[in-house]
Amino acid sequence: MRIILTSGGTAIDLPPDLVWADELGWSAVAQSTKRSAFQTLIVSAMARQGGRPITLQGEGNSAWIDRATLKTIKSWSEVPGLRMQLDIRGEIFTVIFDHGDAEEMRALAMQSVIDYADKQDGDYYCSLVLRFLEASEL
């Protein structure tokens, strides 16, 4: 099955061996608890509106992608708040890049298969990691 990222009518086929690492780790419910003056537990719960992390990653020497495609994805990641469509094997999400709030968090990461000094658009990278947040539609 395919994984497709679309922005402004341009669709990119992502490597099919990307794994959705945090697919089942997110909860659609936000909850907080506190104690009243009489020590009664007060639970507040509500549905979250967007913000689901979607991390697609290749393991080891997998998820190969060419430099030209990576350059397109990189240019999209440099547009603040850009909304895109992400089709993960038939399941469609509206997403934005997750740039995180720490310098070590990056919207995308990869490594060269062979680290050429004079890189070309046809050169391949592997161990691709793409970090997105599901964007709620208001």
Share of the chain above pLDDT 70, in %: 96
What pLDDT does residue 122 have? 83
| CA-based nearest residue to 134, from 32, 33, 23 | 23
pLDDT band at 117 (very low <50, low <70, confident <90, very high): confident
Helix H or strand E encompassing 135 = none
Q: How many domains does the chain have?
A: 1
Residue 72: give the domain boundaries.
Answer: 3-134
| CA-based nearest residue to 111, from 68, 54, 70 | 70
